[in-house]
Structure 1
C-alpha cells in the first residue's frame, strides 16, 4: 500500500522542479540581454586607479537613427571654466579621455592640438582626465600646448555616466558628438589625425 505522505511529497517535488524549470527558462533570455560591463566603468567603480586599457585605434561610427540621447555633462575644468553640455548645440564636440602617463595619450596629444586650432569655434574639444590631479594634468597641457579645457574625473563619475551613451572600453577614448550633442563616432586608442578630422567633418556637415 502506497504511503499517502510519500505520494504528496513526490507531487510537491515535481511541482517545485517544474516551477524551477519554468522560472529558469524565463530568466535565461533576460540574462542574455545584459551586455558585458564596460571595463573602464568597472575600473572606475572599483577605484583601483589603473585607468588604462589598451585600445587598438578602432573606429565605430553611429548612424543618426541609432544614436542615443544627447550627452549631458556639467563640470568645472582645471582652469576653473564651467563645462556644460547645454552649450554644445550647433557645433561638433570632441570628448577625449586621457591621463598624463598614458603613452597613446601622449602620441595623440599633438593631433588634438592641431585639430583644435584648425576647427576653431566650429568644434569644442574637451579633455576628461581619468587619473591625474591638477598639477600633473596642467603640466601635461603646458608641455603639449593644449589650450582647450580638461575636467578631472579621477572618481569616475563622468566615465560611469557615459555608459548610458556608449561604452568607453579604453584609455584614450575619443568621442565625437554631433551638432545635437549625440555620440556620432568613437575611437578606441590613439586617434589618427586624418581619421578624427574626417569624423569631425562628418558631424559638422551631415543632415540630421
Structure 2
C-alpha cells in the first residue's frame, strides 16, 4: 500500500537539508512513493556548491540492467515519475522532444526515467502510449535509486521531480513538479555541457 506524504510531513521536508534527507530516506524505506506534486520551481547549483557524484543502478522496464556508469561523462536528465501521475503524463512528450533534440544535435546528454510506483509492464505501456524513447528504471520494489539521491542537497522532493546531473554525475539542478519550460531544461543542459571538467 502506498501512502501520500501529509502536508505537515512535506513542510518538515522543506525545513532543512539534513532533516529533509533523513525524512526522505525513512519515506523510501517504508515504501511510500506517492508525493504531493512540486510547484515547478527550478533550482541550480554552481559547480563549487554541488555534492559529490551520485552512483545509482537498477533494472530497466525492458529487463536490462542500468547503472550511472553507463552514462559516465554525459549530462544526464533524471526524471522521477509514475503512470497515474497527471503532470508526469503531461511532461513525458516534452522530455521525449528533449531526448530527440539531444540525439539530433549529437549532444553528450541523456535522459533516464525512474519509475517510483509501477511494475515494468505498466511503465512500458505508458512509454508506448506517450511515445517515450528514453529508458526508465523500475524503482518501486526497493527504492534504490530514490535512496541514492536522498542525502543530496537537491533530492527528489515530489513526483514528478527532474534532476539534472553534470558530467561528473553531480546534481546540478532540480525541477520540482511539472516541467513548464522545456527550453529552460535544455539551456541548463547546454550550460553543463559547456562546463570545463
Q: TM-score, normalised by structure 2?
A: 0.82
Work out whether residues 58 and 139 of structure 2, in 8 Å CA contact, stay in contact via their aligned partners in 1: no
Corresponding residue of 1:46: 30
CA apart distance, 1:34: 7.3
1:89 aligns with 2:72: yes
Distance 1:76 1:200 in 2: 25
Between Structure 1 and Structure 2, the one with more helix by share is 1
Residue 167 (structure 1) aligns with: 155
Q: Report the 3-state secondary structure (helix = DSSP H, G, I; strand = E; otherwise coil) of the residue aligned with 1:35.
A: helix
Distance 2:27 2:130 in 1: 27
**Structure 1 vs Structure 2 CA RMSD:** 2.0
Distance 1:129 1:34 in 2: 24
Equivalence for 1:142: 128
1:167–1:34: structure 2 CA closer, same or farther, 3 Å change rule?
Answer: closer
Structure 1 unaligned residues grouped into runs of 5+: 1-31
Q: Is the 8 A contact 2:76 2:164 kept in 1?
A: yes
Q: Deviations over 1:116-150 (max 9, x none)?
A: 00001521111000000111111100011111110
- Could you tell which deviates more after superposition, 125-134 or 34-43? 34-43
Q: Does the 8 Å contact 1:40/1:170 carry over to 2?
A: no
Residue number among 76, 95, 100 corresponding to 1:112 in the alignment: 95
Once residues 34 and 77 of structure 1 are traced to their aligned partners in structure 2, the CA distance between those partners, rounded to angstroms, is 30
Distance in 2 (alpha carbons) for counterparts of 1:187 and 1:127: 14
Which of 1 and 2 has greater Rg?
A: 1
Structure 2 unaligned spans of 5+? 1-14
Q: Which residue of 1 aligns with 2:144?
A: 157
Q: Secondary structure at the match of 1:151?
A: strand
| Equivalent of residue 19 in structure 2, options 20, 30, 36 | 36
| TM-score of the superposed pair, with normalisation by structure 1 | 0.78
1:59-89 residue CA offsets vs partner (Å, 9 max, x unmatched): 1101101111111012221113331212323
Counterpart contact for 2:62–2:120, Cα < 8 Å: no
